[in-house]
């Protein structure tokens, strides 16, 4: 029984990944996490997400295949509760793949004073939460790895990570903020790859490309790829990752 979890599945790349993962017959459980179900607004968006999943393999035999779990990646209690719920879903088979996708993507100015709260907020979601989440889900990943030989963490990054990006984009105003948080996330990839190798938990950083994730039809989005053009090859890549990619930064062939 193979189980996969994607964070930040309420919209954009996370939602695209979750929708396509539901069509993969070999996956028994697709766990899509959303930041909050508490407010009326988010309950509505939750219902909208569930609606979008309709007809896309929501059931696996007599069991549900799609599981929507609340997970605010910046809230410790939420992370712990989500791990408990996921443990109930996957049982003794453990969690095979954890996709750290939730992210804050807005750019903050370089030459103006940036409110500390905004800086820290982005840093918390993009750079520190993935470690806290990986820690909390480690026992479930270990369980899957001990049964099947390996488990996988996939960190969704940005092409700003390779060092040549900084050299080729000297005027990128986002370099101190978004970019730096993703570089830190990539550092986490290399560190976990070393530290958890003996648990057979692999970790890989993946670049989804530049993706049109603004859902407003009128939005003038200059990005290259539609959500489907990014997430179908991204999903295929995640499902085919081997030991060779442990600790690495990988792009899909489309880019
Ligand atoms: N779009 C691109 O071109 C591109 C390129 C490279 C990398 N990426 C990366 O890909 C990932 C997804 O990006 P996207 O373009 O799909 O962005 P998006 O449309 O803005 O979606 C971001 C997702 O992250 C979730 N999120 C934000 N804060 C959260 C929190 N505290 N707890 C839980 N979930 C939270 C959001 O959930 P809520 O709405 O429920 O808060 C949403 O589902 C990000 O990590 C981004 O950095 C994107």
> Can you give the pLDDT at residue 149?
97
Mutate to test the pocket of ligand 1, among 5, 7, 10, 12 (most ligand atoms within 8 A of CB): 12
Tokens representing residue 29 in the block: 């459980």
Per-residue pLDDT of the chain (255 residues; tens, 9 = 90+): 899 999 999 889 998 999 899 889 999 999 999 998 764 565 566 667 777 776 666 666 667 788 889 999 999 999 999 999 999 999 999 999 999 999 997 767 777 788 888 889 999 999 999 999 999 999 999 999 999 999 999 999 987 767 677 677 766 656 667 888 898 999 999 999 999 999 999 999 999 998 998 766 666 677 889 999 999 999 999 999 999 999 999 987 655
Which atom from ligand 1 is nearest to the alpha carbon of 157? Answer: 7
Mutate to test the pocket of ligand 1, among 7, 13, 106, 156 (most ligand atoms within 8 A of CB): 13
Mutate to test the pocket of ligand 1, among 45, 105, 158, 250 (most ligand atoms within 8 A of CB): 105
| HSE-CB of 189 using CA atoms within 13 angstroms | 28
| Residue 103 φ/ψ region, left for φ over 0, alpha for ψ in the -120 to 50 degree band, beta for the rest | beta
3-class secondary-structure state, position 76 = helix
Which atom from ligand 1 is nearest to the alpha carbon of 71? Answer: 33
Residue 148 Cα distances to 32, 83, 89, 95, 124, angstroms: 22, 20, 18, 11, 32
Q: Which class for 88: exposed (0-12), middle (13-18), buried (19 or more C-beta within 10 A)? A: exposed
Q: Percentage helix, strand, coil, to 5, in the chain?
A: 50, 15, 35
Mutate to test the pocket of ligand 1, among 7, 8, 123 (most ligand atoms within 8 A of CB): 8
CA angle 131, 187, 233 (to 5 degrees): 85
Ligand 1 pocket, 16 CB below 6 A?
no
Residue 110 DSSP label: S
Ligand 1 pocket, 103 CB below 6 A?
yes
Annotate 38-55 with b (16+ C-beta within 10 A) or e (fewer): eeeebeebbeebeeebee
pLDDT in tens, 116-132: 888 899 999 999 999 99
> Can you give the pLDDT at residue 61?
66
Whether the Cβ atoms of residue 241 and residue 154 lie closer than 8 Å to each other: yes
Whether the Cβ atoms of residue 106 and residue 214 lie closer than 8 Å to each other: no
CA distance 223 to 99: 22
Residue 109 Cα distances to 113, 176, 214, angstroms: 8, 9, 20
Number of other CB atoms surrounding residue 251 within 10 Å: 17
Domain spanning 2-251: CATH superfamily: NAD(P)-binding Rossmann-like Domain (3.40.50.720)
Ligand 1 pocket, 130 CB below 6 A?
no
Shortest-distance Cα residue to atom 42 of ligand 1 = 8
Ligand 1 pocket, 238 CB below 6 A?
no
Give the pTM. Answer: 0.93
Q: How far does the chain reach from its first CA to its final CA, in angstroms?
A: 32
Shortest-distance Cα residue to atom 18 of ligand 1 = 12
For the chain, domain boundaries = 2-251
Contacting residues for 218 by C-beta, under 8 A, at least 6 apart: none
C-alpha 10 – ligand 1 centre gap (Å):
9
C-alpha 171 – ligand 1 centre gap (Å):
24
């Amino acid at each position: 029984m193979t189980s996969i979890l994607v964070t930040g599945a309420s919209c954009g790349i996370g939602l695209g990944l979750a929708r396509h993962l539901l069509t993969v017959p070999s996956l028994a459980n697709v766990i899509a996490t959303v930041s909050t179900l508490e407010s009326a607004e988010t309950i509505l968006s939750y219902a909208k997400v569930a609606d979008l999943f309709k007809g896309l393999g929501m059931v696996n035999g007599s069991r549900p295949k799609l599981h929507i779990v609340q997970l605010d990646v910046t809230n410790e209690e939420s992370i712990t509760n989500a791990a408990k719920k996921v443990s109930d879903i996957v049982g003794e088979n453990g969690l095979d793949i954890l996709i750290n996708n939730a992210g804050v993507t807005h750019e903050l100015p370089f030459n103006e004073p940036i409110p500390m709260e905004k800086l820290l907020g982005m840093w918390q979601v993009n750079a520190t939460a993935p470690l806290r989440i990986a820690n909390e889900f480690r026992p479930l990943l270990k369980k899957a790895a001990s049964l099947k030989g390996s488990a996988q963490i996939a960190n969704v990054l940005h092409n700003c990570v390779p060092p040549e990006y900084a050299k080729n984009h000297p005027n990128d105003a986002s370099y101190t903020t978004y970019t730096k948080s993703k570089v830190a996330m990539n550092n986490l990839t290399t560190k976990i790859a070393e530290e958890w190798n003996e648990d057979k938990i692999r970790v890989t950083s993946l670049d989804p490309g530049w993706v049109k994730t603004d859902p407003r039809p009128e939005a003038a989005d200059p990005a290259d790829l539609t959500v489907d053009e990014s997430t179908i090859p991204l999903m295929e890549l995640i499902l085919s990752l081997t030991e060779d990619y442990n600790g690495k930064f990988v792009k899909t062939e489309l880019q």
